[in-house]
Amino acid sequence: MRNARTIILNLIRRYLTRHGYTLAHTNISGVEPLKLWMSDTGFLMIWDEICKKTMIDVSRAYMIYQLLLNVRHLKGAAAEIGVWRGGTAQLISSVLYHKMIYLFDTFEGLPAVSPDFDKNFHCEGEFGDTCYEDVKNLFAQQDYVKVIKGVFPGSIEKNNTYPREFCFVHVDVDLYQSAKDSCEHFYPLLVPGGVMIFDDYGFGTCPGVRQAVDEFFKGKHGHFYLPTGQYVVIKNGD
Ligand SMILES: C[S@@+](CC[C@H](N)C(=O)[O-])C[C@H]1O[C@@H](n2cnc3c(N)ncnc32)[C@H](O)[C@@H]1O
């Protein structure tokens, strides 16, 4: 029963966010800020390609896009934890095509949920409506993209080609433990100026992500909340 409720709520959320309904940023004079993504043709070409393979809406995608443009010159690889059908991963690979990109997902849905933070909103196996082979095929022509199946962080390839430095990490995992593990693994490997961006942080359905991020970044500098619901961390060498 709870699983059915969770699935229905997430379908509604996915529909609403894809169509931008969560974002009404009208200021006091009643004037809405510009939707710059509507006129950015470079971005729109990518969005057109990915929008049916992602759960995020166009404004969140544009935040990611702009951050990607800002880390292009940095050293280090890129990663995404929480790939699902590969939409946001394609966004990353469209901009950082000169870097190694590591994509982590079970491709069988969410792993075990935390009884303390996640269980009222998510269930194990949710988002299992994807296919590892399909996502692998999506990146078949891009040998700089590695698609890694399994529960992160146990799925990390422990060999000497695995990067020691990252410049960009997109964390879209919905769950407390997955977000915590992502922070613990990637933040120490982030180069100065490197970016981690968390989807889900501002959404009532993902309290575990907010909990994990707040715990980890307490006392550190260079992190802030976006009105899109995302949370951004920029490493400044502390
Ligand atoms: C919301 S979906 C990702 C959506 C995707 N970024 C997009 O394009 O919109 C969340 C994904 O996180 C994955 N996930 C969560 N925790 C994980 C973990 N510890 N290891 C591997 N995959 C995980 C789930 O399998 C699921 O596919």
pLDDT of residue 157: 86
Give the SS3 label for residue 179. helix
Residue 202 is encoded by which pair of tokens? Answer: 């501002």
Confidence band for 137, pLDDT divided at 50, 70 and 90: very high
| 200 touches ligand 1 (CB under 6 Å) | no
Task: Give the pLDDT mean for 111-125.
Answer: 95
CB 74 within 8 A of CB 189: no
| 104 touches ligand 1 (CB under 6 Å) | yes
| 90 touches ligand 1 (CB under 6 Å) | no
| 103 touches ligand 1 (CB under 6 Å) | no
CB 32 within 8 A of CB 72: no
Q: Model confidence over 73-100: pLDDT tens digits?
A: 999 999 999 999 999 999 999 999 999 9
| 84 touches ligand 1 (CB under 6 Å) | yes
The DSSP-derived string for 40-91 is -HHHHHHHHHHGGG-SS-HHHHHHHHHHHHHHTTS-SEEEEE--TTSHHHHH
Which of 178, 183, 201 is the best mutation target for the ligand 1 pocket, counting ligand atoms within 8 Å of the beta carbon and taking the most? 178
Residue 180 is encoded by which pair of tokens? Answer: 């915590």
Q: Model confidence over 150-206: pLDDT tens digits?
A: 999 999 988 889 999 999 999 999 999 999 999 999 999 999 999 999 999 999 999
Domains of the chain: 2-20+55-234 (3.40.50.150)
Strand partners, 233: 196, 223
- Measure the CA–CA gap between 178 and 191, rounded to whole angstroms: 21
Phi, psi for residue 87 in degrees, rounded to 5: -65, -55
pLDDT of residue 23: 46
Residue 116 contacts by C-beta under 8 Å, 6 or more apart in sequence?
Answer: 176
State yes or no: cis peptide before 153, omega within 30 of 0: yes
Buried b (16+ CB within 10 A) or exposed e, 83-92: bbbbbbbbbb
| 54 touches ligand 1 (CB under 6 Å) | yes
How many A from CA of 1 to the centre of ligand 1?
A: 23
Residue 238 has pLDDT above 70, yes or no: no
- Measure the CA–CA gap between 54 and 14, rounded to whole angstroms: 9
pLDDT of residue 31: 83
Residue 56 has pLDDT above 60, yes or no: yes
| 110 touches ligand 1 (CB under 6 Å) | yes
How many A from CA of 193 to the centre of ligand 1?
A: 25
pLDDT of residue 158: 83
Q: Model confidence over 9-24: pLDDT tens digits?
A: 667 666 665 655 544 5
pLDDT of residue 130: 98
